[in-house]
Amino acid sequence: MHKYILRRLLMMVPVLIGVTFVIFTLTYITEGDPARMLAGIQAPEEQVEQLREQLGLNDPFAVQYFRYITNVARLDFGTSFATGRPVFDEIISRFPTTMHLTAMSIIIAVLIGVPLGILSATKQYSVFDGAATFVGLMGISIPNFWLSLMLILLFGVQLGWLPTSGFDTPSQWILPSFSIGISSAAIIMRMTRSSMLEVLRQDYIRTAKAKGQKGSVIIFRHALKNALIPVITIVGLEIGVLLGGAILTENIFSIAGIGRFMVDAIARRDYPVIQGGVLLLALTFSLVNLIVDVIYAYVDPRIRSQYK
């Protein structure tokens, strides 16, 4: 197991290098002049050119990328054009807020999606199954930003039950967490239902029923444990989706996380912040996938036996 984890960690290195190359290339070819944005519209061309030279923007692409990748290897993501502070410090100070929002959202998604999927599978073709399937389809179809605005209008403006901005108190966690967790809950529900239906048709389930096992024992001890592998996979993938969804949600709810910081950086052409934020999110997603693969081994004895 330790060798497998080490091998996966080493495989993450070329992935992250590829991410840095793609995001650096995109920011390099994007129209706009960061030096002009920093100096101001009315600044003379001589001052802009001096600032461009100071930032190293006149260097060739290969020189700029090599300098960037060398600095990243030392955990130096550069300095923000707008704030003048190290990008690493700016991102790390906001990272816990984004991860908190993502964690709350995935908890809500699992707590809603898995039970609904189990009930839908065990009561196939019933009214409940049809209602759950319809709700799941709606959850997947509704855009995240639209749902966020509707939740604000209903629970924040009309009813006045919950605050519509910030992320400091438990009451402020509810609306943004639900807004990005609902779509993931729908996907998890559909995957749980599909996986459970496949397992419930297996011969060993019929054998357990023939032996007189209780329905709850059959569902949770025999069926659910064997249906968890695809569910764990989709939960791991949804964490990456939620990290991306947090970018819009943080702006709508005025949450001081990485997403809002990156959107402001895009508007200011603050390239070091954009590059550092994307790289950190890619690293987080890669680590989540590694954790999911390790969880496989503890859930499924067949996979665990391959590492011994």
Q: What percent of the chain has pLDDT over 70?
A: 93
Residue 72 pLDDT greater than 80, yes or no: yes
Convert the pLDDT of each residue in 206-224 to its tens digit.
Answer: 888 887 777 777 787 778 8
Q: What percent of the chain has pLDDT over 90?
A: 0
Which pLDDT does position 4 carry in this prediction? 67
Query: Is the separation of the CB atoms in 280 and 88 below 8 Å?
Result: no
Residue 1 pLDDT greater than 70, yes or no: no
Convert the pLDDT of each residue in 126-148 to its tens digit.
Answer: 888 888 888 878 877 888 778 88
Query: Is the separation of the CB atoms in 24 and 294 below 8 Å?
Result: no
Give the mean pLDDT of the chain: 80
Which pLDDT does position 240 carry in this prediction? 76
Which pLDDT does position 159 carry in this prediction? 83
Q: What tokens appear for 200 in the block?
A: 């419930």
Contacts with 114 (C-beta within 8 Å, 6 or more apart), sequence order = 188, 189, 192, 231
Residue 22 pLDDT greater than 80, yes or no: yes
Residue 268 pLDDT greater than 80, yes or no: no
pLDDT category of residue 232 using cuts at 50, 70 and 90? confident
Residue 60 pLDDT greater than 70, yes or no: yes
Most confident stretch, 11-15, 194-198, 258-262, 287-291 = 194-198
Contacts with 164 (C-beta within 8 Å, 6 or more apart), sequence order = 152, 156, 157, 175, 253
Which pLDDT does position 308 carry in this prediction? 58
Cβ-based burial of 244 (10 A; exposed 0-12, middle 13-18, buried ≥19): middle
Residue 291 pLDDT greater than 70, yes or no: yes
Residue 302 pLDDT greater than 70, yes or no: no
Lowest-confidence pick of 3-7, 60-64, 70-74: 3-7
Which pLDDT does position 275 carry in this prediction? 83
Residues 210, 224: Cα–Cα separation, whole Å = 18
pTM of the shown model: 0.78
Which pLDDT does position 65 carry in this prediction? 85
Q: What's the CA angle centered on 86, arms 80 and 92, to 5 degrees?
A: 105
